[in-house]
A and B are shown apart, each in its own frame.
Chain A
Amino acid sequence: MGGDNKYLGYIYIAPYVAGLLIFTAFPFIASFYLSFTDYDLLSTPKWVGLENYQKLFTRDRTFERSLSVTLIYVFMTVPIKLAFALLIAVILNYRLKAINLFRTAYYVPSILGGSIAIAVLWRYIFAESGLVNMLLGVFGIEPINWFGDPQNALFTITLLRCWQFGSAMVIFLAALQSVDKSLYEAAAIDGASQWQIFRHITLPLITPVIFFNLIMQTVQAFQEFNGPYIITEGGPLKSTYLLPLYIYDKAFKSFDMGYASAIAWVLFVIIMVLTLVAFWSSKKWVYYAGDKRS
């Protein structure tokens, strides 16, 4: 590239860079500054130093509750979702009749999953008079209070997230299909069972993809909002009150944008630390092509 076209590349990337700066970088930096202020959205932010953070960690019981609910939600959702996505991907990797139809069908919930409509549908399915209790009734099981019982509500929200396993599944499927078939043939000739083949060939070869899905799903789970907001609005007894809901309420209902920014930054740090831990641990369990480790 030279002459008149030497700036062409910059022009091509300009829209993305502009979007990144305006819609990501600026709010990112601004929220960091605001987390040290008392800001009600309508008047000038007032610098309060570490007060918001002090209040968060010493006097805010709602934050404490919301953080623990969020962590439980993430640690419940991510493993279940990944395991389920991998299981379905393995099944769909077989040459079955109408396999493409099944692949599409399993992916559909992921396209719809984040939508408000599906959250509303979920609410109807698990309502006291909903489909699930109706089916349980067929087997003589008493209706379960899915949303009204704090013990069940988070689990019900978790199921919605797990049901949206399609995108992780598609990535797993692509990884499974890229595994060298000659390895399977060699293992079969040596008399390896299906489980041994999966455990010692498939699984190690797709660890980069497991790692990728783990990071992505963890980050997304920490940011879950639609499901609990629509289905339970964080209740009962704040048992589904995830941190993003608390941030939203503080920012737009209590007009406490400074405090909401502080919570958002705590959430960011938690996600970052967990991601770093995952990266650090990946050296021990993720295998890349050409890796010399045994």
Chain B
Amino acid sequence: MKRLQKNITILLAATALASTAAVSHAAELRMSWWGGDSRHKATQEALKVCGEKHGHTIKPEFTGWSGHLEKVTTQIAGGTEADIMQINWPWLPLFSFTGDGFANLYDYKDIIELDNWTPEQLSAGEMNGKLNGLPVSTTGRVYMFNKTTFEKAGLDVPTTWAEVIAAAPVFKEKLGEDYYPFDASTLNAVMLVSNIATQKTGKDLIDPETMTVAWSADELADAIGFYQTLVDQGVIQSWKAGAAEGNMALHENPKWSRGQLAGSYEWDSTYFKYSDPLEEGNELVPVGILKVDGAQTEGVYRKASMTFAISRNSDNPQAAAQILNCLLNEPEGIAAMATARGLPASRAASEQLIEAGAIKPILKQANDIIMASTGPAVSPFNEHPDVRTVFLDALEMFAYGQIDAETAAQEIVDGVNDALEDYKS
């Protein structure tokens, strides 16, 4: 045992020395990210540990999610961005459509242990063949239900849409008119409609070859019709009723905390964000992707949740690469970061955290659903701000009865195609 410990110590020291050899001087770096308190604390601790290990100092710059894109945009426009940045996966084409917006991490493959990612994972961080962002974790949308509310209604947690729809009248009868088995307003309504259309067509919204909408207007109108069915049957509250709380996130909504809204379609990595606010005794459970009749696929919306990128303007890109490697692949960084950004994509990090029992089973269960589900590759342009705005605006107009499903679908198809026009090669 002692020999094993000694060997591990020598190995760790050698690894550290080998990577330090490439960067002999102490560098002053900056790292920016968005997140909540737990992520801020974990990342600051990890930066401290990795900085001490490699002899660099790293100044943290962190904010909440809201406004972070704007902050990063302004910094990049002014050339004052941090050396290491947490970049949302859909932002890669915004900042680096040609692959030159960030440092090419393949240039630092001697420092960063890239064999901890699969080729598929690395390709998700590539722009134009250049590795612009290292996937930190893989995430996806998963259906979650408040098991306790369903039990109060005398029902099991649903596993099909038919069961969810059938639950609505039971909820009204046994729990009250203001109880709904599911919730899908604003962005979640868009995600739900997208999921249904993807299931029916077997295609993502955007065809990456032609950079146009892959669904026909009729197919999309059909998915929008399904959303309306859910409203009509009392499965979800109407858009207007949901907006009565103002611009309030679901997890802040008292109706969610009380279990009146008993289901949602959320990122697996945000499980605790939604389970924590629930009133005591309520249990939130993730279920397999709900499928509609005639589905060709589960249409899972799976993607790199976020990436770490190095600034192309960094004075110390090698030192930044060292720190990045430490955060994602080295035992000290992994232990400090833990699951602050969901289940790590890096194999080394995943193995270490599973062995240490640091990954909560429910989080693993939600992530397993995502990883096991089928669906076409998701284009990052699904989350392009203009694409989102077009989709959201048309769906909102439909939900308020301003336009019919066919018109909404046509507006989305035309608007998204317009938004993608600039990105056609």
Give the B-binding residues of A (Cβ under 8 A).
41-42, 123, 126-129, 145-150, 230-233, 235-238, 249, 252-255
Q: Find A145's partner among B101, B244, B247, B386 (CB 8 Å cutoff).
A: B244
State the Cβ distance, A252 to closest chain B Cβ, in Å.
4
Provide the bound-state CA to CA distance between A253 and B385, in Å: 6
Q: Which of B346-400 contact A (CB under 8 A)?
A: 385-386, 389, 393, 396-397, 400
Interface segment, one of B35-43, B70-78, B145-153: B70-78
Give chain B residues whose Cβ lies under 8 Å from the Cβ of A41.
73-74, 76-77
Rounded to whole Å, the gap between the CB of B158 and the closest CB of chain A is: 26
Chain A contacts for B245, CB-based, 8 A: 123, 127-129, 147
A148 and B385 within 8 A (CB): no
Whether A237 lies near B402 (C-beta < 8 A) is yes
Interface string of B107-136 (1 = CB under 8 A from A): 000000000000000000000000000000
- Interface 0/1 of B36-70, CB less than 8 Å to A: 00000000000000000000000000000000011
State the CA gap A147–B245 with chains docked (Å).
7
Query: A126 to chain B: which residues have CB within 8 Å?
Result: 246
Among all A-B residue pairs, the 9 with the closest Cβ atoms = A148-B243, A128-B244, A252-B70, A148-B244, A123-B246, A41-B77, A253-B385, A147-B246, A233-B247
Query: With contacts A148-B241, A236-B396, A252-B70 known, is A127 near B386, CB below 8 A?
Result: no
In whole Å, how far is B112's beta carbon from the nearest beta carbon of chain A? Answer: 25
Whether the Cβ atoms of A236 and B73 lie closer than 8 Å is no
Q: A254-B385, A254-B386 are in contact. Are A235 and B247 (CB under 8 A)?
A: yes
Majority secondary structure of chain A interface residues (helix, strand, loop or mixed):
loop
Interface residues of B in 392-425 (CB under 8 A from A): 393, 396-397, 400, 402
| Distance to closest chain A CB from B231 (angstroms) | 14
**What residue of chain A has the Cβ atom nearest to residue B78's Cβ?**
A41
Point out the residue from A42, A129, A149 that lies within 8 Å of B76, measured CB to CB: A42
When each residue 255-280 of chain B gets 1 if its CB lies under 8 Å from chain A and 0 otherwise, what string results? 10000000000000000000000000
Q: Could you tell me the distance between the alpha carbons of A148 and B399 in the complex, rounded to whole angstroms?
A: 12
Q: Is B25 an interface residue (CB 8 A)?
A: no
- Report the minimal beta-carbon distance from B387 to chain A, rounded to whole angstroms: 10
Q: List B contacts of A238 (CB < 8 A).
A: 393
Distance A126 CA – B247 CA, assembled complex (angstroms)? 11
CA–CA, A245 to B73, complex, Å? 17
Is B95 at the interface (CB under 8 A from chain A)? yes
With most chain B CB atoms within 10 A of its CB, the pick from A145, A148, A235, A253 is A148
A to B CB contacts below 8 Å, 23 in the list: A41-B74, A42-B73, A42-B76, A123-B248, A126-B246, A127-B245, A127-B246, A128-B241, A128-B245, A147-B243, A148-B243, A149-B240, A150-B400, A230-B247, A231-B247, A237-B400, A252-B69, A252-B73, A252-B74, A253-B69, A253-B389, A254-B389, A255-B385
| B contacts, CB < 8 Å to A | 69-70, 73-74, 76-77, 94-95, 101, 239-248, 254-255, 385-386, 389, 393, 396-397, 400, 402
Which residues of chain A are near B95, meaning CB under 8 Å? 42
Chain A residues lying within 8 Å of B402, measured Cβ to Cβ, are 237
Report the Cα distance A147→B186, complex, angstroms. 14
Please, which residue of chain A has its CB at the minimum distance from the CB of B77? Answer: A41
Q: Is the CB of B244 within 8 A of A235?
A: no
Q: B76 contacts which chain A residues (CB < 8 A)?
A: 41-42
The CA-CA distance from A232 to B396 in the complex, in Å, is 14
Contact assessment for B244 and A127 in the assembled complex, using a CB-CB cutoff below 8 Å: yes
Q: How far is the CB of A229 from chain B (nearest CB, A)?
A: 8
Beyond known contacts A148-B244, A236-B240, A237-B397: 6 more, CB 8 A cutoff: A147-B245, A148-B239, A235-B396, A252-B74, A253-B385, A253-B389
Are B70 and A123 within 8 A (Cβ)? no
| A146-B244 CB under 8 A given contacts A236-B396, A237-B402, A255-B94 | yes
Chain B nearest Cβ from A143, distance in angstroms:
8
Q: In the complex, what's the smallest C-beta–C-beta distance from A67 to chain B, in angstroms?
A: 17
User: A42: which of B101, B255, B400 is its contact (CB, 8 Å)?
Assistant: B101
Cα–Cα distance between A146 and B246 once the two chains are bound (Å): 8
Give the docked Cα–Cα distance between A236 and B241 (Å). 11
> Contacts of A145 on B, CB cut-off 8 Å?
240-241, 243-244
B385 to A236, Cβ gap below 8 A? no
What residue in chain A is nearest B392 (Cβ atoms)? A235
**A132 CA / B215 CA spacing, docked (Å):** 45
| CB pair B73 A235 closer than 8 Å | no
Given the complex of chains A and B, what is the CA–CA distance between A149 and B101 in angstroms? 43
A147-B244 contact, Cβ under 8 Å, with A236-B396, A237-B400, A252-B70: yes
Residues of A within 8 A of B73 (CB): 41-42, 252, 255
The closest CB in chain A to the CB of B243 belongs to A148
Separation in Å of the B399 CB from the closest CB of chain A? Answer: 9
Kindly provide the distance from the CB of A103 to the nearest chain B CB, expressed in whole angstroms. Answer: 32
Flag if B246 contacts A232 (CB, 8 Å): yes
How far is the CB of B185 from the nearest CB of chain A, in Å?
10
Chain B residues contacting A127 (CB-CB under 8 Å) are 244-246, 248
Residue of B nearest to A256 (CB): B386
Chain A residue numbers with a CB within 8 Å of B400 are: 150, 236-237
Inter-chain contact A123/B244, CB cutoff 8 Å: no
Nearest-Cβ distance from residue A121 to partner chain B, whole angstroms: 11
